[in-house]
Amino acid sequence: MVTEISTERLAEVIGDGRYRIIDARRIDAYNGWCMKGEARGGHIRGAKSIPAAWSQQEDWPQIIRSKGITSVEHIVVYGYTDDEIQAVADRFSAEGYPEVGVYTGFVDEWCANSDLPMERLENYHKLVYPEWVEKLVSGKKPPGFSGDKFAICHCHYRNRADYDLGHIPGAVAVDTLELESPGTWNRRSPEELMKALTKMGITADTTVVVYGRFSFPRNEDPHPGSSAGHLGAFRCAVIMIYAGVKDVRILNGGIASWGERGYALSREENRLEPVDDFGVEAPARPEIFIDTPEARQVLASPGDNLISVRSWNEFVGKVSGYNYILKKGRIPGAVFGNCGSDAYHMENYRNMDLTTREYHEVEDMWRGIGITPDRFNAFYCGTGWRASEAFMNAYLMGWKNIAVYDGGWFEWSNDPGNPIEKGEPK
């Protein structure tokens, strides 16, 4: 049975453990973007994100379980439109939830009353959505953009065919090897970064939007970027921030989200005019990366975390994760950050539609293993890609004391003087 709930009643049950409030809007609105002219952006405090588009998925029971929602809870669904609210409410009812309520006053009543509690992702504006990008490439001013210089970067790893297959109109191709060194996969030197970025037409004052494709037929090269361009986009974002680009944004969901909104792709090659001056001396944000000596210091500090953003099989030493990394195991003292199934996936940091996972869920996952914002947290993986995506999750949440251990398992394991652990931690 589906019943309507009032603003007053909803305000009363916030914090009551017997109730689960469900936000049926897109994750972009949940994160903080005002997409219907509402007075405040974000979501009702404590709400879980379950977009209406997911209501037809066969794996709905798994989605609900992953969000910790049990059948004994009272469900209250809200959103922008009656259709999206009803779609999610009906699915809960069909799955046997006995008490499902709908709330239709979110925009006109809840958002308009500053006394009613809301939350949002602190740096939500760094995670943009397709309509935002479409306005930008169409010559309009999307929300929060006041500059006059921008670059849309289609990221890939030695795979220009990925760009030629189809890209966002106006986007330029960016090979990740322009920003990281082949052989080590570490960031390039400050001088090389400034040279590469100015050659692309990017300065410290350019608004840069990065994105990639989630899957593409894998070539001979075993590097994860050969099949996961959007993962490479996170890597490029972190390196650009390190160099000094002040406004780096990520298209949430990558090129897949662009297609889902019905926007066309282009095969026309685009290039920006090179510039002479980057505008600042790189690296403007040196604290974003640490190297092996600093990683050792993190391990020696009881209050800090060196976080392995790798799969469990990599962490316990069953596999190295890569064809070009021979040694298996983990850095002793590292915290397991649980990327997902293997070196090519980050499913524990993403929603089923490949958008960035609801940030409360990432926070909860981290809190359970001692990763909290009051500590210094340095993320690592095999060669920096997965670590960069985890770093960006913390960055979007507004965490300050964060870094990427750039060398990761590749660099650590290649030094015979570094200790290695295998097996389940004791």
Write out the chain in H/E/C secondary structure. Answer: CEEECCHHHHHHHCCCCCEEEEECCCHHHHHCCCCCCCCCCCEECCCEECCHHHHHCCCHHHHHHHCCCCCCCEEEEECCCHHHHHHHHHHHHHCCCCCEEEECCHHHHHCCCCCCCEECCCCHHHEECHHHHHHHHCCCCCCCCCCCCEEEEEEECCCHHHHHCCECCCCEEEEHHHCECCCCCCECCHHHHHHHHHHHCCCCCCEEEEECCCCCCCCCCCCHHHCCHHHHHHHHHHHHHHHCCCEEEEECCHHHHHHHCCCCCECCCCCCCCCCCCCCCCCCCHHHEECHHHHHHHHHCCCCEEEECCCHHHHCCCCCCCCCCCCCCECCCCEECCCCCCCCCCHHHECCCCCECCHHHHHHHHHCCCCCCCCCEEEECCCCHHHHHHHHHHHHCCCCCEEEECCHHHHHHHCCCCCCECCCCC
Tens digits of residue pLDDT in 55-114: 999 989 999 999 999 878 899 999 999 999 999 999 999 999 999 999 999 999 999 999
pLDDT band, residue 1 (cuts 50/70/90): low
**pLDDT score of 380:** 98
The pTM of the full predicted model, rounded to 2 decimals, is 0.95
**pLDDT score of 358:** 98
Does 183 have pLDDT greater than 60? yes
Domains, the chain, ranges and CATH?
2-119 (3.40.250.10), 125-284 (3.40.250.10), 287-414 (3.40.250.10)
- pLDDT > 90 in the chain, percent: 89
**pLDDT score of 345:** 86
- pLDDT > 70 in the chain, percent: 96
Does 256 have pLDDT greater than 70? yes
pLDDT band, residue 228 (cuts 50/70/90): low
Active site residues: 381
